[in-house]
Amino acid sequence: MKEERLWPLYKELIEKKTFQERIDKAYKILENCILCPRNCKVNRMKGEKGYCGADENMIVSSSGPHYGEESPLVGRGGSGTIFLAHCNLKCNFCQNYDISHHSRGMKTTPEELALIMMDLEREGCHNINFVTPTHYLPQIIKGIKIGAEKGLSIPIVWNCGGYERADMLKLLHGIVDIYMPDFKFWDEEIALKLVKTKDYRDRTIEAFKEMHRQVGDLKIDKNGLARGGMLIRHLVLPDNMAGTREVMRFIAKEISTSSYVNIMDQYRPCFEATTVKGMDRRPTGEEYKRAVKEAQEEGIKRLDRREDRTGWIRILFEN
């Protein structure tokens, strides 16, 4: 039986000498930016800004070990989280709106990003977790290459909102080990109200299929740590505005019933959420419980098992 490699995917890409080709192609896209489905086509290399608000400069808001992520990412040393400013979605209920909408942070070069990643690995983090990375794809993969050549050797997590172009994701094939996308909502009108686009569902469906094609279902080693694969997040919204059953049906039928899914209960009204009818309250315990049951009924086999605030999910899984 062939022994599975434990090193991150980007190590093998470095050996094949094709990494720089990806970087060059990605930076060229910044001259007519179509990194995400907004397709703004601005020249970010000349300082122009599209919907996300980012130019050619990458802005890092903060970095450090994060212990609030899913347990396969956290382990004992934490997930090496790097929060990036700006966002291609700009949800009007964002809990990190000071970062995503107001761009709080420091300009960071790919060389500096490599040093941040290496520091996180030295601190004992189990992975490098890029939060809201889509609009900085070129800078990130350049930083990963620099870090890999200097000895970086832990998995890369692409922690995104799901609104990705499948053809741009192909630039990450062999670089990203763990995709961690959200599937935020199913209904087009809800998406229009909350993220100002009606094609969120269609583009996210395409992105999920490409991510899964690249890395497959989440793989967890004997120590309980994620080594590669896809980890899906879905935030429960009031009055089923997220369309949980439809999202779970898609995942089960068109991705995999073995998909690792975290159904999250932490929504609370933030930023401009109260401007949309129904978004002015947290989901009830019953709404969250129903969302988990819908996932199970649609065939999802691997649900994240952390207890929610009511404690009922532990009972659900034990029975």
- Per-residue pLDDT of 259-305, as tens digits, reads 999 999 999 999 999 999 999 999 999 999 999 999 999 999 999 97
CA dist., res. 22 & res. 45, Å (int): 17
CA dist., res. 201 & res. 208, Å (int): 10
Full DSSP string of 12-46: HHHHHT-HHHHHHHHHHHGGG--SSTT-----GGG
Entry pTM: 0.94
The strand pair at 219-220 and 58-66 is best described as unpaired
How many other C-beta atoms are found inside a 10 Å radius of the C-beta of residue 147?
A: 25
Question: Who contacts 45 (Cβ-Cβ below 8 Å, separation ≥6)?
Answer: 27, 30, 31, 56
- Give the pLDDT score at 16: 83
And the tokens for 21?
């080709």
And the tokens for 103?
């761009």
Phi and psi torsions of 114, nearest 5°: -60, -40
Pair 295, 303: CB distance under 8 Å: yes
Higher pLDDT, 319 or 60: 60
How many other C-beta atoms are found inside a 10 Å radius of the C-beta of residue 151?
A: 9
| Percent of the chain topping pLDDT 90 | 90
Inform me whether the pLDDT recorded for 312 exceeds 50. Answer: no
Pair 62, 68: CB distance under 8 Å: no
Pair 177, 155: CB distance under 8 Å: yes
Confidence of residue 31 (pLDDT cuts 50, 70, 90): very high
For the chain, give every domain's residue range: 9-318
CA dist., res. 128 & res. 9, Å (int): 13
Phi and psi torsions of 89, nearest 5°: -105, -50
Inform me whether the pLDDT recorded for 18 exceeds 70. Answer: yes
Structure confidence by residue, pLDDT tens digits, 129-153 = 999 999 999 999 999 999 999 999 9
Question: Who contacts 318 (Cβ-Cβ below 8 Å, separation ≥6)?
Answer: none
DSSP H or E stretch at residue 210: helix 200-215
Task: Give the dihedral of Cα atoms 55, 61, 64, 67; nearest 10 deg.
Answer: -110
- Give the pLDDT score at 2: 42
Q: Which CATH architecture has domain 9-318?
A: Alpha-Beta Barrel (3.20)
- Closest by Cα among 308, 296, 313 to 259: 296
Inform me whether the pLDDT recorded for 79 exceeds 90. Answer: yes
- Give the pLDDT score at 306: 63
CA dist., res. 216 & res. 214, Å (int): 6
Q: At what angle do helices 137-149 and 110-122 cross, to 10 degrees?
A: 60
Structure confidence by residue, pLDDT tens digits, 207-242 = 999 999 999 999 999 999 999 999 999 999 999 999
